[in-house]
Structure 1
Amino acid sequence: MMSLKMKRKNIMQLLREREINDHIRTKYALKSQISSKCITKLGLLTELEGHRGCVNCLEWNECGSILASASDDFQVILWDPFLQRKRLSIKTLHRGNIFTVKFLPNCHDDIVATGAGDWCSHTYNVTTGKQLSACTCARSRVKRITVANDTPNVYWSASEDGTIRQHDMRISHQCSSEQTKNVLVFLRTHLGTMAEAKCLAINQMRTEQLAVGANDPYVRLYDRRMIRSLTSVKMAPTGPPINQSVDLPLAIFRIVDTVEDNIFARTNNISENSVQYFIPGHIYLTDVEAHHKYQNIGTTYLNFSPNGRELLVNLGGEHIYLFNLIDQVESTFCVIPKVVNKTRENGEGSSIDIPNEPTPVLQTILPIKVEKLKLEANYLFDQKEYTTAIRLYNQAIDMFECSVLYSNRAAAYIKRKWEGDLYAALRDCVTALKLDPNHMKAFFRMTVCLFELGKLKESKIYLEQFKLKFPSYKSSPAYKSLSADIISADEKCKNVPQLSSSDTNETFNNEENELPNDFEQNQKSKLEEHWRKHAKDYHHRYYGHCNTSTDIKEANFFGSQGQYIVAGSDDGLFFVWDKNTENNILVLKGDSSIVNCLQAHPSEFMLATSGIDNVVKLWTPLPDDIKNENEIKNFTSTALQNQRRMMTDPFEVVLRNMGMGLRDTRERRENESEDRPEQFYTCRPS
């Protein structure tokens, strides 16, 4: 136990004494990373030069004395981060861009595993630089490798042929065998021939948990104890051999996805209860229009929190989401308050009932600090500064939860109309109604969200319920406008002819360029439909960056307890968010083009980043008297530009350039009433 005197020592004392006392390091690390002020001082320490291509991956060893980086130049470089110099350069035998590198645990930091675009995964001795093993089982690019800290000499790989493979260096393995014995998960068994595994991670607190990201919006959490290894997966060659002495054209690094040349036989080794799916609730839509909209969304990176209770996911073409693995969240569409015929005591129409929820104790007086934040946010809302208003509502809710704050934040989300905002507003409205079932504005805004999210039937029911519950407001312009829009939409639905199954199939066949083969051929298994139906929702959302140009863009925890979130962006910036409030704390210029990789030092307050540039950058807190030249001051405008980049429809861009920009048919509702957050209104769809 550390003495009381030791606990009271400041950072400088701990910094000096950690050099002679190993027990000080953890104390120093925890204390030095706990201040948000240090985060705001984060600045560039140095640039490590040595690669001759894009640096696609970074990895610290367990104690943080070595930083490994790998690049398009087929090299793995080991750096000393404190002396800021190269320790060793390994010229690998890869013939494709290296996408992932990992230190194998409990091997004295002597072995690294790599995966690359040549369909191979290798292991190397970091002392000699010699290759120890090579696996050529994959039939497409190997995108990610992960390890379990309690399992030495073993690593897992994810490749774009849809496989998750387990590699044990202690077991002899013949890649040329007709039957492979190292496939743990084969996504194409349930998803069809287009499925690709993009990333994976193992929970270091519960190493039986394996998270997998694919080229779709769903995140899969497997229990490895319930999965049996595939021993009858037949393989067939799809191109020329990949271990050639000359560079190969990129054309051969593709998967042959025809039924005749299917790489693997369909073999099911995943039981119903061995996997849990997660997906943001607004993406889980089953109609064809939603399929078109979200078909290009895939997971570029995922990682478990330091305590193993949360899973952080970076969705390409979308935002960053945090899923709680212990207190899992149901889709908001499933927990909307049910309407029942229940007469209120004051006689003003019927009411709603929230099953299994105790009667809330209403708080009418907010704490002084919370009230001040609310008033300031309301003022910013009036000034149409919706992002800044949401930031203040986030801070207020983190201090004190009440229905007014959730309802007001929902109003700001509805007005801002960024991707996912309507669903976030719906979540806030449902939460507000749990805290106060008679909150009029939250009820109306919930109805607006349901309508704008395409839930026409539900919006009709809740609008009728709103009229019965709050009859004095049915003459308001906003109510009349929403009612007219719902009636118009309902009439249009009635007049649309219903397509027969043959017509539907013909429609799909005529759109081969838009719908992937697995959607056309309905190859998804019944188990896949079951898992998707029971997918859980997100707990937090982080926005502001743009993730559309690369499929290796990371998002990671930062800080002693993982209290911050960091991620790169297509505009050459990287962002730092507070995990709980979801507020952005800092934006820094990290690359001339794109920031892909961000890895936090395991104990020191240091962050390593890389991207399209040929350098690795190290970041630490700067002294107060040094100006941070890389800091971007205006988060709101930066985030808005990135949001527009992600949401822009290419066809709409063409029309705008031709002077034919699309007009929104519902702008009249915003013109009718520029309401304060305390009022209710409708909005145009995002």
Structure 2
Amino acid sequence: MSPKIKKRRNILQLLREREINDQIRTKYALKSEISNKCITKLSLLTELEGHEGCVNCLEWNENGSVLASASDDFQVILWDPFLQKKKTTIKTLHRGNIFTVKFLPNCHDDIVATGAGDWFSHTYNVTTGKQITACTCARGRVKRIAVANDTPHVYWSASEDGTIRQHDMRISHQCLSENTKNVLVFLRTHLGTTAEAKCLAINQMRPEQLAIGANDPYVRLYDRRMINSLTSVKLTPTAPPNDGPVDLPLIFYRLVEAVEDNLFAKTNNITDSSVQYYIPGHIYLTELQAQQKNQSIGTTYLNFSPDGRELLVNLGGEHIYLFDLINPAEHSYYAIPNIVNISRDDGEGSSISLPNESTPVVHSALPEEIEKLKLEANFFFEQQEYTTAIRLYNQAINIYQSSVLFSNRAAAYIKRKWEGDLYAALRDCVTALKLDPHHMKAFFRMTVCLFELGKLSESQMYLEHFKLKFPSYKSSPAYKTLSANILFANEKIKKESATNPNNDVNETLHNERKDDQQNDFELNQKSKQEECWRKKAKDYYHRYYGHCNTSTDIKEANFFGSQGQYIVAGSDDGLFFVWDKNTENNLLVLKGDSSIVNCLQAHPSEFMLATSGIDNVVKLWTPLPDDIVNEHEVKNFSSTAMENQRRMIVDPFDIAIRNFGFSVSDTRDRRDPPEPGQFYSCRTS
């Protein structure tokens, strides 16, 4: 008897059945995997009109039947995305811009939580529009709210007073009471009184994991099971929920804030084993220089991948990074001594390979398809079209791992020199040397990267090692040029040290900054524990660039596609970008706003994307038929990306004025309590 053959339904059958069977939605979502061709056909479906201010946040309900949006007009609108019309409008009691809205899970989509610039977080009944709860504990703008799908009636909030608070609607709550324990993480305990929490996310596959982004480049991943809540201290008067904070003199709030911060700081509820830090390696290596240049890099958004194994982070003033949570990457700079089998002066590295290290495989010949891609990339490299060359190397590396491909891509990064390129080149050189320890060009390019990254002594040491390992190459022009550059840099440091005999250049600059901090009452003083966590920070393994993120601090980056195989993010130029997650290649650039695209939220099961920004509308995007021209598409990614690189290094205030088209007249201190009814302009980061 022949085995029973299981009848499988094709995509057309699933499409028909989902109209009458809601349970088929998940199967359809898994079946209808989005392809690159579908992505390139993405275009505007409709604009949803109804708000009277910037739309700062979007949120789908669990099954995607409702889209919630919230705005500077203090309203939450619930939309039917398929009928393309309003379902209901909630006129909230907020007195400041609403920055975040979330459906509370397992509440039949009948409760939403909001956070706003008036320092309040609220919950509302969707059916009646009535306020259910109001929390006035925060002393800064509430920027993000997160929920866990397996935890009903609970939400977490991140506010610019440096706190992450846990709110449980089932527990009676009296704001700022000595008996209220709702502070889960207080960043100022270890970062000083200028620390601000900007965003947070809960890993839906592992709800104990809580990721936090702040006004610095470090991303913090906490295990909630290992954290005890801190007690709120009753030091500020509690205002009626509908009236906003009590209008008291600024000096009183400053005094209260200083006392309360000091009390919180005495209670450290974070252990070494409960948190892991992440930061892109080049930012970690050049953090001091960035501080000296007064560069401000902070996290504007973060989110876990659908499978919970990755963390996507959008850094303001920088790029978008993907971190591997299962196999976190070590910083490439510290992997070099073991790769080249040489000890450093600080004792790191060894003359033997690491224990259990796999034997490197040397690839002498590339498959025909990969060789063709490599030659095409080499051609564009010679034409100085480095972005196109990198794109082709990306495509080849995604298919086949080879030392020559990594080394060639490193050369393109070194030539292009966009923000983060030199460290990306260093990473490629380290990977190439893992695959082939005798790859001469990879070794030399690694030394070039170290020099360009300001690691002068290391570049000199490895260049000497290079000369011993490859003696025939020491007469080459490239070797002589690098050697001369290192010699010149050393002579320059000696001259500057003679001018400041007690300090080298870095120490002098560091002391100048230290004096500035002391004059500012040491607001940025960090704890020893914080420094320890930073030293153990892990590196990224994918980077996405081309957009610009300097003008707003709510700019999102999200996963898109049935398996989260694409990355989407907005930009200060009114565009939004779509990248392939694995190759890092850009697939599509679309015009999404007249000024800035901030929010992008993918439908949970359909091929639909919702976006919003400075315009007062919500836009829905779906694929176009093949015979229709996409009039929203921007064709030349390279020139667009290059222009955004320039935008990121100019004065962000000038960019903000240019983008918004009006002057920012609000000069209040960010810790000055907002006045009831105050209408905020979109704040710059």
TM-score relative to the length of structure 1: 0.88
- Correspondences of 1:450-469 after superposition (within 5 Å): 450-469=450-469
Q: Which residue does 2:298 correspond to in 1?
A: 298
Structure 2 unmatched ranges of 5 or more = 344-349, 656-685
Change in 2 beyond 3 A, CA 1:187/1:287: closer
Q: Which of the numbers 524, 529, 532 marks the counterpart of 1:530? A: 532
Residue by residue over 1:258-316, the C-alpha shift from the partner in whole angstroms, topping out at 9 and shown as x without a partner, is 98555452121111110000000000136642323474100000000000000000000
Change in 2 beyond 3 A, CA 1:253/1:445: farther
**Structure 2 letter corresponding to 1:236:** L
Change in 2 beyond 3 A, CA 1:635/1:443: same
Preserved CA contact (<8 Å) 1:95 1:248: no
Q: Which residue does 1:431 correspond to in 2?
A: 431
Q: Which residue does 2:603 correspond to in 1?
A: 601
Preserved CA contact (<8 Å) 1:48 1:616: yes
Instruction: Give the share of equivalent positions with the same residue, in percent.
Output: 75
Q: Which residue does 2:513 correspond to in 1?
A: 508
Change in 2 beyond 3 A, CA 1:303/1:479: same
> 2:252, 2:67 → 1: CA distance?
31
Residue by residue over 1:122-173, the C-alpha shift from the partner in whole angstroms, topping out at 9 and shown as x without a partner, is 0000000000000000001000000001110000000000000000000001
Residue by residue over 1:644-665, the C-alpha shift from the partner in whole angstroms, topping out at 9 and shown as x without a partner, is 1113468999xxxxxxxxxxxx
Change in 2 beyond 3 A, CA 1:503/1:457: closer
Residue 549 of structure 2: SS of its match in structure 1? Answer: coil
Matched, 1:94 2:94: yes
Q: Which of the numbers 558, 582, 589 marks the counterpart of 2:584? A: 582
> 1:570, 1:173 → 2: CA distance?
40
> 2:508, 2:418 → 1: CA distance?
35
Preserved CA contact (<8 Å) 2:221 2:277: yes
- Correspondences of 1:183-332 after superposition (within 5 Å): 183-231=183-231, 233-237=232-236, 243=241, 245=243, 256=254, 260=258, 263=261, 265=263, 266=265, 267-285=267-285, 288-293=288-293, 295-332=295-332
Preserved CA contact (<8 Å) 1:194 1:516: no
**Structure 1 letter corresponding to 2:398:** D
Q: CA deviation at 1:628?
A: 0.9
Residue 598 of structure 2: SS of its match in structure 1? Answer: strand
Preserved CA contact (<8 Å) 2:301 2:315: yes
Q: Comparing 20-29 with 382-391, which one deviates more in the overlay? A: 20-29
**Structure 2 letter corresponding to 1:129:** G
Change in 2 beyond 3 A, CA 1:651/1:296: closer
**Structure 1 letter corresponding to 2:59:** E
Residue 472 of structure 1: SS of its match in structure 2? Answer: helix
Preserved CA contact (<8 Å) 1:354 1:434: no
Preserved CA contact (<8 Å) 2:551 2:652: no
Q: Which of the numbers 615, 622, 625 marks the counterpart of 2:624? A: 622
Preserved CA contact (<8 Å) 1:337 1:353: no
Matched, 1:172 2:172: yes
Q: How many residue pairs align between the two structures?
A: 637
**Structure 2 letter corresponding to 1:378:** N
Q: Which residue does 1:470 correspond to in 2?
A: 470
Q: Comparing 11-20 with 101-110, which one deviates more in the overlay? A: 11-20
> 1:138, 1:425 → 2: CA distance?
43
Preserved CA contact (<8 Å) 1:161 1:255: no
Residue by residue over 1:574-617, the C-alpha shift from the partner in whole angstroms, topping out at 9 and shown as x without a partner, is 00000000000000000000000000000111100000000000
Matched, 1:564 2:590: no
Q: Which residue does 1:46 correspond to in 2?
A: 46
**Structure 1 letter corresponding to 2:308:** G
**Structure 2 letter corresponding to 1:112:** V
Preserved CA contact (<8 Å) 2:236 2:256: no
**Structure 2 letter corresponding to 1:508:** R
Change in 2 beyond 3 A, CA 1:628/1:340: closer
Q: Which residue does 2:660 correspond to in 1?
A: none
Structure 1 unmatched ranges of 5 or more = 343-350, 654-686
Q: Which residue does 1:385 correspond to in 2?
A: 385
Q: Which residue does 1:104 correspond to in 2?
A: 104
Residue by residue over 1:152-198, the C-alpha shift from the partner in whole angstroms, topping out at 9 and shown as x without a partner, is 00000000000000000000011152564100000000000010000
Q: Which residue does 1:552 correspond to in 2?
A: 554
Residue by residue over 1:393-432, the C-alpha shift from the partner in whole angstroms, topping out at 9 and shown as x without a partner, is 0000001000000000000000000000000000000000
Residue by residue over 1:526-556, the C-alpha shift from the partner in whole angstroms, topping out at 9 and shown as x without a partner, is 1101100000000100000000000000000
Change in 2 beyond 3 A, CA 1:251/1:555: farther
Preserved CA contact (<8 Å) 1:235 1:263: no
Preserved CA contact (<8 Å) 1:158 1:198: yes
Residue 182 of structure 1: SS of its match in structure 2? Answer: strand
> 1:156, 1:259 → 2: CA distance?
22
Q: CA RMSD in A?
A: 2.8
Residue 643 of structure 2: SS of its match in structure 1? Answer: helix
